[in-house]
Amino acid sequence: MFEQTRPAALDEGTRPQWADFRVEHLAEVLRLLADLRETSAPMVLSGPAGTAVVCSLWNIDRQQQRIAFIAEPQDPALQSLVDGDDAVAVGYLDNVKLQFDLQGLVLVHGPRQCALQALLPEVLYRFQRRSAYRVRTLERHAPTARLRHPAIPDMSLALRVLDVSSGGCALLIPADVPALEPGVTLHGVQFVLDAETRFTAALQIQHLSALHRDTQLRIGCEWRALHGVAEHSLQRYIDRTQKRRRLLSLD
């Protein structure tokens, strides 16, 4: 339910249902915001008309009660987001999805970059994002996903597969690879998880998160039209890997 980057529906009528997920204590709000900033976690800022901007949290000013995001100055959606003055921020820390409203949006232009400022949020929502059982892949088998960059067809990528489930997978994106945006569908991705598990599938990028103290990104993807032999092959791999990891934990 919360695996996608788009915000969870938290209108005034439904907010009481999410009380267990609310974070209201100022110290805890500031700690989670600091974690987002320190890991340079990619944030998706969404407006009411479907406008979306990918950026990162840059500054937390407790005294002025404001936060600021670093954004791409050429992004045409930025001004629309500010004009709407009603946005929601979504970001990920490990297995947790954080969401909060943005108010008092102001765009500040600099010579090389720009900052999108907002009021310090009083409330955050904290959701666990995984619903399907996932297994971490075994590094010694060098599990790989091969594809072409959706925005640069001439660029071939061989990405490390970090984990898989019946619902999707996570891929490791090196720092020098041009950005992959949430919502993009990747077609014809060739997976080699081990000597027995090879298949081709389509993926839709759901979210991005920064690896702790690293410049690499982790992208979470959802399978699209995974059927027949590929689906059975994947399930056998999950079962086999789960058993191997259980045996390794006993050694």
Short-list 77, 17, 27, 28, CA closest to 49: 77
Residue predicted with more confidence, 120 or 113? 120
Asked if the model's pLDDT at residue 214 lies above 70, the reply is no
Q: What is the rounded distance in angstroms from the CA atom of residue 97 to the CA atom of residue 66? A: 21
pLDDT score for 228 = 80
pLDDT digits (tens, 9 = 90+) for 151-161: 999 999 999 99
**Token pair 């990920």 is at which residue?**
92
pTM, 2 dp: 0.57
Residues 221-229: contacts with CB within 8 Å, 24+ apart? 221/168, 221/169, 221/170, 221/171, 221/186, 222/3, 222/4, 222/167, 222/168, 223/166, 223/167, 223/168, 223/169, 224/185, 225/201, 226/201, 226/202, 229/199
The pLDDT of 61-70, averaged and rounded, is: 94
Token pair recorded at residue 104: 């008092």
pLDDT score for 124 = 92
**Structural domains of the chain, ranges and CATH numbers in brackets:** 15-128 (2.30.110.10), 134-250 (2.40.10.220)
Find the radius of gyration of the CA atoms of the chain.
19
pLDDT score for 232 = 83
